[in-house]
Amino acid sequence: MGNKQKGFTIIEVILFVAISGLLTSMLMVGVNISINRQQYRDSVQSYAGFLRNEYSKVVNVENDRSKSVCPIDGADGRSETARGQSDCVIVGRYITTFGPLGSTDGNSYRAYPVYAYRSDKGSAWVYRRGAESDKYTVNWQAKTRFSSQPKNSAYISILMYRHPETGQLDIRTDTSRFGDNLTDFVNNKNSAGIVQSAGEQRQQREICIYDDGWLPNERLSIFLRSYAASADAVIVGNATGGCADA
């Protein structure tokens, strides 16, 4: 008897190629989803770490200034006074989004030291931001905004400070940008000098972390809490409200 050689028919070959291609596509989709999820979580944790580090600088005051004078205008006309005196102290950090007005996506931040000054004992404290700044960019081009803000309109101002007399820690937030003078911010006013409703700047604030097309069903947020201990001031949790559908 003659030997018969068996092989694949053209239909079997086509089916094999089609199934292999489908499996490869499914594998690549799964890999991309896993990569996107890891990138998203990395951006969230990195941003939370940035805010926690800034809060740590308030809890444990770091004097990283290169000058030997305090850059705050005094009521008595002196432009600067010796650093370390009781009427001029470093009290916190001012953090704000950076970018063109009207098109800020909350990807870039700057953080400044905050100084408190008063010219005479018993007079009101004046709060100003220092000239030195640290820059931070959210990882993987992720964006941030307050839960009440529309996309790409992240006017975020965060003031973390310790009262120069009582030592009380506080976190305030606002949806406008402040200049060098932060006294209004401390006194519960926005950047236009308008008094905010009671506790508005001290309410727990939710900050969305998002990027268009990234895992729409998996969202995390950063929650800032006033009067909190260092471990509870910056919390990562599941997104709610306006952040859940970011």
At residue 215, the pLDDT reads 65
Of the pLDDT bands very low, low, confident and very high (cuts 50, 70, 90), residue 65 is: very low
Residues 81-127 have pLDDT tens digits of 554 455 778 899 999 998 776 667 899 999 999 999 886 777 889 99
53 membership: H or E segment, kind and range: helix 10-59
At residue 77, the pLDDT reads 38
- Arithmetic mean of pLDDT, 202-229: 81
3-state secondary structure of 241: helix
Pick the more confident residue, 223 or 231.
223
Alpha-carbon distance of 96 to 144, in angstroms, equals 12
Considering the chain, what percentage of its residues have pLDDT values greater than 70? Answer: 74
- A 10 A CB-CB count for 160 gives 27
- pTM for this entry: 0.81
At residue 54, the pLDDT reads 95
Alpha-carbon distance of 179 to 131, in angstroms, equals 11
Q: Which two tokens stand for residue 66?
A: 């290169």
Whether the CA torsion 128, 134, 135, 136 is positive or negative: it is negative
Pick the more confident residue, 93 or 80.
93
At residue 73, the pLDDT reads 55
Phi, psi dihedral angles at 211 (to 5 degrees): -160, 135
Q: Which two tokens stand for residue 210?
A: 């998002």
Alpha-carbon distance of 54 to 12, in angstroms, equals 63
Closest CA to 206 of 158, 233, 240, 160: 240
In this structure, are residues 162 and 150 in contact, taking their beta carbons and an 8 Å threshold?
no
Supply the Cα-derived Rg of the chain in whole angstroms.
26
In this structure, are residues 117 and 126 in contact, taking their beta carbons and an 8 Å threshold?
yes
